[in-house]
Amino acid sequence: MANELRGPKQNVKDWYKYMRQGAEAVHSVNPNTPFEVSFRRKLVFEIHWYGFWRKGHNWNKICGKETKKLMNESGFLLEKGFPLFLSEFGIDQRGNNVNDNKFLSCFLALAMDLDLDWAIWTLAGSYYVRQKTIEYDESYGILDWYWSSIRNSTILNMLSSIQSPLQGPGLMETQPKKIMFHPATGLCIVRNSLFQLKLSSCNGPERFILSSHGVLSRTEEHVFFCFKVYEEGKSVKLRLFSSESNSSKWKVLSESKMQLSLVTKDGESVCLDVDSGSGNIVTKSCKCLEGNGSCDPTSQWFKLVTNTRSRVKPEPVLQISPYSKTFLQKPLSVL
């Protein structure tokens, strides 16, 4: 039972015919297996998503367009109450594929927002033979060519941000709240000091609100601290909320719908960003609203995501034992 049509004789009619027969055969052995053919109430839809996108285009526009396409083709099923499993996605784990790196940020934003169950292609670091090549190196593999080390720990850490479910059945530990996710790092905005913000793990109790009037604030025990900007390039400050008229007004910008912008008192339009040295939340000129793919907007991508967990402590997707050449495998997806 191949999961995708392959080869010169591929066709939907035969695939559908034999997939049904295969599923029926599996079900006859184990009726608890979640397949939907002649039986009912066991249907799970699955999708694959890769960043095989056209290069040279504006990344805000590409991410917005591809996200909308996925929602129109399959994501709408979640809104209708059907289970949807993203059973395959992957990127070049070497980290030097610009297209894949941008796709990963776009993917993480959607996966976090929808709280998707997922599986990644692939664990394997190499093959005995593939495409007529002996000892073929799998650049999409989480493990390296020797199967003894993680190929890219940065990417693996980013994936850990979507490993633990944020919502789902049995996870209503608190009233729904919004956290602010930064997909380019897999981290979230947290309070660094009394009035300062930075990026850190998403496992804290942070709660943010973007009001209908554009006031962006952090709440704590019914006390609201609004995001205040005084100057471009400087840290965003938390200030005790007093009134709508006295607060900075934010709006969602660009086709990615992930850039948060405001106009400063000097009349300059700026967006939330991250200081690469300190990890503090700052504002900078809004990036890549127009133009081509040479511009990278991902440092300014933030997603307000619903969370019903009181505290989430992500487990590492995979651990390599430092004392042997074996690896200790953690679940690659949360089902």
- 22-77, pLDDT tens digit by residue? 878 877 887 776 655 565 666 788 999 999 877 788 999 999 999 999 999 999 99
pLDDT at 242: 67
* Single-letter amino acid, residue 46: E
pLDDT at 12: 83
pLDDT at 302: 98
pLDDT at 2: 56
Q: Tell me which CATH code domain 177-307 carries.
A: 2.80.10.50
- Mean pLDDT for the chain? 86
Burial label, 135 (beta-carbon count in 10 A; 0-12, 13-18, 19+): exposed
Mean pLDDT of 254-280: 92
d(CA 216, CA 206): 13
Mean pLDDT of 320-328: 47
CATH homologous superfamily for 12-165?
Glycosidases (3.20.20.80)
- 181-233, pLDDT tens digit by residue? 999 999 999 998 888 999 999 987 789 999 988 999 998 877 889 998 888 88
Q: Is the confidence at residue 3, as pLDDT, over 80? A: no
Mean pLDDT of 122-144: 95
- Give the domain ranges of the chain: 12-165, 177-307
